[in-house]
A and B are shown apart, each in its own frame.
Chain A
């Protein structure tokens, strides 16, 4: 597609959205909305990191929660053991990242040799073991009851925390975008499309998959640290299967294989969760709001089979190609990334 222009439509839209988000806490009068948006950003980071695995490398992991959980626990434990200063918090993020990097390296070496289903189940098993460790190592983690801790004083101010997380999200987005557009990222996409052929071209695919797993794990650890701060509380639920499933669903709903998709997905899911459960207070029919939530998943698969962003993007491309070159509809076909992701 050639060199990307600085003033391309995409970049302008990004800029507008970021400016809108900067003014958001001053426009929205309620604290709840600011906290909700902070939550959306945190899960966006998690879902983006998951998309490195699912969307770009084409591997389904059921163990992403362990990286998230390690980040959350590292921050919580360091902050409660030492002082609740900003310095300790930043150190805890770094420590968490190094630790997850190491763990994901080992886990990756161990698991990534296996094919689709087997890999997924093995990551499920290993993250299950981490959950058990968190539950049983009571002297450090306080088990299922969890523990509260004091966040750095600056984060008392929810608006400041909002901006901090927003900056993290933007940085993570830019870094990951650089990562996936780099030559290394291209190899990952090649692995997703056809691993055997990539290997026969001379790439050691295992190495690349391990690198993808490390990058995904490190970024997930960042979101875990932020999550712990946002709750000022941590318990074993940060390691649970639910976190992995949330990341998975956000990625699929938004659109796999794009970095914007996971952000959109996490926005849709968090907002839907918030408002549907809020409706339950007013209308008794929404007391079982999870039903509507489940229907949302089903409807997304039927009407947006490539995720929201993916479907919109394909629509946009066909519209554009129709407009510019009406004779060549096939030009847009290779961009449709509906290859089977698991095999």
Chain B
């Protein structure tokens, strides 16, 4: 996708102006946290599991090279072909090569943010392949020519009416009008079933890669992942190197956090473990399986101060709980990943220069860190990115200078007292008893949207000193 993070404020302005969608976002922001909370409340071991998984993830990241090698060895032993891709372009070309080697025309694709990151669909389409997304949300977004607005619920930004219009436009429906939501689901299922049955290659993502047995784990609510994995004769699993976990029990422990945090369910409808190609006695399954492991900056992130973001399990809860995400929606971020985790990841995967607005789209309210199942200190990482933004002189000079001057002045109490005393008295007089300002020089950002409360007559420190002196 074309990144438009540079225009975050413009994108946000447009999003805020779309009242119907803003209302939908408000509703989701109200209900999704309630659903998550209720799922977490019903799971007594949530905090203990969170702490355990955090330890396991840290250990895995500390020993990533070891576990990657172990995974590769086990997966190869199971009959998989394991490929490593340094960057997006390499992953795309590995996948295209496999498809072309099999003369593939039709691709059935499961939901995968990694392939969104690499722009795989466009790459395959340019080579003439018919790639169809099979997760309902992804399918809708693909039909609309859009990108996912949420890493778990790609089409949450669309209303049922919008989806109906889309299907009426794109599908050959004859007399059918798809009045009920269930009619729309049935229609999508029908179209996708045919695609599954005729696809030459299936491509899916992975929620975890298990080093001890070389399996990959995938959760879906629609079962489309299993159809992608089992019906076509060739399966390609696309994942990043940070999905590795040492043992199967680590993957299932992570799963208990993932699903509750993502959708508020105790368990998804389908949880699958893929070992490799069909073995001699197996009645079905793919004949050939590939696993493409993407680095795309992860090794660098691992060695940086931002390594904790690699523990992200992609549940999307930080998006759902972020009031800024709720306000402007995922597309405003102009990047593959949005919300707090996206605002950390995007500058690291692309460049801080083109995405500097994102780490600033944060009030440090801490709600994301509070609910993050991986316990990632997102506001701290965002603050660190703002620090880099300042060091690279990407933030406006008047901000950098103004804040430094303020901090310097605050470290000179006598001078601070003198200047603030004079300033506050002047400001109070300027307000002429109205108690507020409609406009205030140097506070344009504030006063564009709100009045500025005027100060009381003098500063607290002046008044306190006067009183102290008076009391003797």
Q: A and B from one assembly?
A: no
Residues of chain A touching chain B, judged by Cβ–Cβ distance below 8 Å, are: none
